[in-house]
Amino acid sequence: MDTKELLDIARELQALGRRLEAIAATEPEIAYSIAPEPAPAADTAEPAPEAVCEPEPAPVNARSAEPLPITFSLNDRYRFRRGLFGGSDEAMSLAVGRIADMHSAEEVEHYLAANDFDLDDDLVKDFLRITTRRFDSHPPLLA
């Protein structure tokens, strides 16, 4: 495998991790079932194989290529679930998971518009502001 393939796999794993975090945040009983298993005891563990290829460390001042995860306050989560998703945790988790995989604010806007969200509605603007603030190039929607 070359470096590009390894980076693609790493990005896919990060996206899956974000989806699991979004699900775990809305459904605590699932969070327990997807928790990582404890590591085996030191005396029974086999030595780890040597890494074939390690990525170069990023400079201290460099920003991560991956966007920050989407986080909502408890009040915002309730407000958006009730106002935008008809009270459905599943619908909100699905939408947030899809948005978490997007790479630009424009993608998020197109996704919301394609799913019949009114981009002029204040609640939708708040949702869009929170879900797109992780993109550095996106200017704030609300001053």
For the chain, domain boundaries: 3-33, 74-132
What pLDDT is recorded for position 88?
93
Mean pLDDT, all residues of the chain = 74
Measured CA to CA, the distance from residue 75 to residue 81 in angstroms comes to: 10
pLDDT-derived band of residue 123, with 50, 70 and 90 as boundaries?
very high
Q: How far apart are CA 131 and CA 135, in angstroms?
A: 9
Amino acid at 4: K
| pLDDT(143) > 50 | no
What are the two backbone dihedrals, phi and then psi, of residue 73, each rounded to the nearest 5 degrees?
Answer: -75, 165
Query: Looking at the whole model, is its pTM more than 0.75?
Result: no
Q: Is the pLDDT of residue 36 over 60?
A: no
Q: What is the mean pLDDT of residues 41-57?
A: 56
